[in-house]
Each structure stands twice: as C-alpha cells, then as structure tokens.
C-alpha cells in the first residue's frame, strides 16, 4: 500500500512542478500590471503638485489648473482621448501647451517611472472631474515611452553658496519666498523649492523683469468699489457672494472680502475687476544686482529640486 502511494505521488509531484513552471513562465510573457490610483495620487504629490493644483479652491502656482482635467483632457486635442492626451502631456510635455501657459514643465518629468506608474498617475488625474476607465488605461501600456533623464549639469558649489547668501540677504528674496515646506509657505509668493526644474532664461527673466511672466494666481487684481474706493490684492477666491483677496500691508497678510454688490460696474453691467500687468514682485534697479550676482542667484535656484 505504501509503495502504491509512493508511485501515485510521483505524477502529482510532476504536475505540481509543471504548473509552477507554467505560472512562472506566464508572468514572464504576460507580466502583471497594476494600476493604482492611490499610488498615482502619491506620484502627483511628489512630481506635479509644486506647479499644478487639483483642488477647486486652490490656485495653480505655475502650470494649468488640473481640478477638472479628467473632463477637460478630452477637449484639448481632437484626435486624442482624455487618457491619450494625459499620457502625451506626461511623457512629452512639449507636444502641446495650453494657451496662455509658457513651457516650463521639465521634459523628463516622467524619467525613472515604470509604465504602470504613468498609468496610475493618469488614472488619478482622470478622477479629477472625470471617470477613469481601467480598460482604456491598460490599452495604453505599450504606448508608454519613458524619456531618459537629461544629462546632469556640473554644479559650481561656490556660486551656489554665494547665490544662497544673496537670496537670504542683499537680494531680499527670502522676504517673500520661504524655502521651507510649511503651511502657508507659498501664500505671499510662489514656492521655489522646485525652482531648479525651470528653464534658466525663465528664471533670469523672473529676476530682471518680473512682470514679463507673472505666475498664474500670483498677479494683482484691482477692484473698483461703488463707493469710489479701490482695493487690490492677490485673488484667492471668487464666488457668487463676491471676491476674496489677499493683501500685503506693511509685511502683514490680510484677507479682504469684497461683496459683489459693492463692486462698481461698467456701462455693460460687467464688474470693474481688472488684473494688473505689473508683478507684485519689486523690479530691481539696474544697479541693485550685478550680473555676476544674478548668475550666482540662478546657480542657487537651479540647485533647488
């Protein structure tokens, strides 16, 4: 009896070995792909949130607002579905730019990600105003082409340190740009914690001619009241009840609520609310910073990643 059981066990063992090999081989030829929207959310926080807002009550710092991108993406490029447009925007940001936004998104923002990471990020973005479709996401798996990281630039440590000292001291940048990720750190001015991702010429313009490219959400809004008074500040919120401005008065930030019925109107009935073409960032006098000092500050900013 024992010998019979022994001989019966041999075929069972053989079947088990064959099944194990087949399962192992199947994962090789048919790799498992996991699309995880929660992981996509985490990737967004680490790679995208510095420039893009996904909360309807927030203002995007640099890039377009993405609070409704799951809906809007399908309307950007006629030939592309929402998922295809988002894929293109992530792996090839220069292929299409939304009107009114300059190209400062790093071309290699997706470098180092796996294809399933990109799909997870797209899936999360689709939840912002849209509905993700797992089948359509997986159909894009073989179209994900991750770009290689750009060649790293040499860093002049002496210039970076000199730029840091200027940033914190003579140039006065640190009065508005806080280099710590604390609550409210970007209320007065855009965060520069990822400034190194931006084009060098764009950063140079931001110092020498700050009104040339006013960061969306950080311009000054001027409001004319029916009483004859004028109020101005950074527009934080607009509702049916009115406007909420953030004004800097002698270094103190004040929240100003402007009821809609107190705003003066044009002859056509439109509210007298106008964006200023002048950046709130002070334009330095020509002799305030020497060219070599500006270059040192740029070296410091480029190190901020």
Tell me the C-alpha distance between 163 and 157, whole Å. 10
What is the mean predicted confidence (pLDDT) over 39-43?
91
Q: What crossing angle do the helices spanning 291-302 and 200-208 adopt, rounded to 10°? A: 130
Instruction: Give the model confidence (pLDDT) of 21-35 as tens digits.
Output: 343 333 344 444 578
Give the SS3 label for residue 222: strand
Number of neighbours of residue 131 by Cβ within 10 angstroms = 9
Tell me the C-alpha distance between 236 and 219, whole Å. 10
Would you place residue 286 in the very low, low, confident or very high pLDDT band (cuts 50, 70, 90)? low
- Counting Cβ atoms within 10 Å, is residue 120 exposed (0-12), middle (13-18) or buried (19+)? buried
Residue 100: the pLDDT is: 56
Considering the domain 157-212+283-302 in this protein, what is its CATH number? 1.10.760
Number of neighbours of residue 36 by Cβ within 10 angstroms = 16
Higher pLDDT, residue 18 or 280: 280
Residue 102: the pLDDT is: 55
What is the mean predicted confidence (pLDDT) over 119-132?
92
Residue 121: the pLDDT is: 94
Higher pLDDT, residue 250 or 225: 225
Instruction: Give the model confidence (pLDDT) of 147-193 as tens digits.
Output: 766 555 677 899 999 999 999 999 999 988 888 777 777 888 888 88
Which overall architecture, per CATH, does domain 37-143 show? Answer: Orthogonal Bundle (1.10)
pLDDT over threshold 90, residue 260: yes
pTM of the model: 0.59
Would you place residue 228 in the very low, low, confident or very high pLDDT band (cuts 50, 70, 90)? very high
């Amino acid at each position: 009896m024992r010998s019979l059981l022994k001989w019966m066990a041999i075929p069972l063992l053989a079947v088990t070995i064959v099944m194990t090999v087949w399962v192992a081989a199947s994962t090789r030829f048919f790799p498992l792909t996991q699309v995880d929207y929660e992981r996509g959310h985490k990737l967004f926080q680490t790679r995208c949130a510095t420039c893009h807002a996904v909360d309807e009550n927030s203002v995007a710092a640099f890039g377009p607002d993405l609070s409704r991108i799951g809906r809007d993406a399908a309307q950007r490029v006629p030939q592309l579905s929402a998922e295809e447009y988002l894929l293109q925007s992530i792996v090839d940001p220069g292929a299409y730019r939304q009107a009114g936004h300059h190209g400062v998104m790093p071309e290699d923002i997706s470098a180092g990600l796996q294809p399933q990471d990109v799909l997870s990020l797209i899936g999360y973005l689709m939840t912002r105003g849209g509905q993700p479709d797992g089948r359509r996401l997986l159909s894009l798996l073989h179209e994900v082409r991750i770009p290689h990281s750009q060649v790293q630039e040499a860093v002049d440590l002496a210039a970076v340190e000199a730029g840091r000292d200027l940033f914190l001291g003579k140039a006065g940048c640190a009065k508005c740009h806080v280099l710590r990720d604390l609550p409210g750190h970007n209320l007065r001015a855009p965060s520069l914690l990822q400034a190194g991702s931006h084009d060098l010429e764009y950063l140079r313009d931001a110092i020498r001619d700050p009104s040339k490219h006013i960061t969306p959400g950080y311009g000054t809004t001027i409001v004319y009241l029916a009483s004859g008074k004028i109020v101005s500040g950074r527009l934080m919120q607009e509702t049916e009840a009115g406007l909420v401005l953030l004004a800097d008065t002698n270094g103190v930030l004040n929240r100003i609520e402007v009821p809609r019925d107190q705003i003066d109107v044009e002859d056509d009935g439109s509210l007298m609310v106008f964006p200023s073409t002048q950046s709130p960032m002070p334009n330095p006098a020509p002799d305030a910073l020497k060219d070599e000092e500006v270059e040192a500050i740029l070296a410091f900013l480029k190190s901020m990643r």
